[in-house]
Amino acid sequence: MKSLPIKMFTIYILTTLFLSFFGPMKYYNYDKLLVFLYVIGFLFCLYLGYAIANRYKIVLKKKPQLSHDATMVIAHKNQKKIKKFVRITILIAFFSIFLEFFEILIKNPAAFSLSNMAGNYFEINLENSSSFYSIPILFRFLTGFFRNASIILGIYYWRTLKKSYKVILLTQLSQSKNGCET
C-alpha cells in the first residue's frame, strides 16, 4: 500500500507515453526512441530515489509550540510571499504569451487578426519544421511550471489580485482555452 501512489503515477506516465506514440492525436517533430529512453530513465531515477528514501529513516527535531499570535504572524508573512509569487508567475506567463505573439507578428505581419492567431501559430510552426524550435517556444517550455501555477494560484487568489494582474490572468486563460497551452 505504501507504493500505491508511485505505481499509479507510473501507470499514468506510461499510458501517456503509449498514447503519444499510438494514440488518436499525432505529435510531430520528435524522436520516439529518445522520448522513450528519457521517460524510462526518469522513471528509473524516480524509483531509485523512492527506494533510497524508504530505506533510511529521517528524524526531524520536534518544533517548539508557538503561541497563536506567533502563528498568525507567520501565516500573514507566508500569505504575502504567496501573493508575490502569484504576481510573478502571472507576469512570467504573460511574457511567454507575448513572446509567441511577437514572433508570429514578425514571421507573418498579416497575422495581427486575433481570430486567426491560433491558425497562424500552427501554420507558421508546424509547416516549416526548421522554425518549430524557436526561442519563444523554448521559453514557453521552460516556463511551463510558472504558467500552470499562475492559472491555479491566480484563480485561488482572484479577490486579492490587482486589476492589472486580473487582466493578464484572463489573457492567459483565454490563450490556454484556445488550445495553445502546452
Please indicate, yes or no, if residue 39 is contained in any of the structural domains.
yes
In the chain, the number of structural domains is: 2
Do 23 and 77 lie in a common domain? no
Share of the chain above pLDDT 90, in %: 2
Distance of alpha carbon 71 from alpha carbon 69, whole angstroms: 5
Please, which residues have CB within 8 angstroms of residue 25's CB and are 6 or more apart in sequence? 19
Please indicate, yes or no, if residue 60 is contained in any of the structural domains.
no
Q: In this predicted structure, what is the pLDDT of residue 75?
A: 82
pLDDT in tens, 65-105: 778 787 888 888 888 888 888 888 888 888 877 887 777 77
Do 31 and 117 lie in a common domain? no
Range of the domain at 135: 68-180
Q: How far is CA 64 from the centre of its chain?
A: 37
Please indicate, yes or no, if residue 108 is contained in any of the structural domains.
yes
Share of the chain above pLDDT 70, in %: 75
Do 160 and 120 lie in a common domain? yes
Position 118 confidence tier, pLDDT thresholds 50, 70, 90: low
CB atoms within 10 A of CB 70: 11
Do 27 and 111 lie in a common domain? no
Do 46 and 73 lie in a common domain? no
DSSP class of 129: G
Burial of 101 (C-beta count, 10 Å sphere; 0-12/13-18/19+)? middle
Query: How many degrees, rounded to 5, is the angle at CA 79 between CA 166 and CA 182?
Result: 50
Distance of alpha carbon 60 from alpha carbon 176, whole angstroms: 42
Question: Has residue 166 got a pLDDT over 50?
Answer: yes
Q: Average pLDDT, stretch 40-61?
A: 81
Distance of alpha carbon 144 from alpha carbon 147, whole angstroms: 5
Residue owning grid cell 505573439: 101
Do 49 and 90 lie in a common domain? no
Do 122 and 168 lie in a common domain? yes
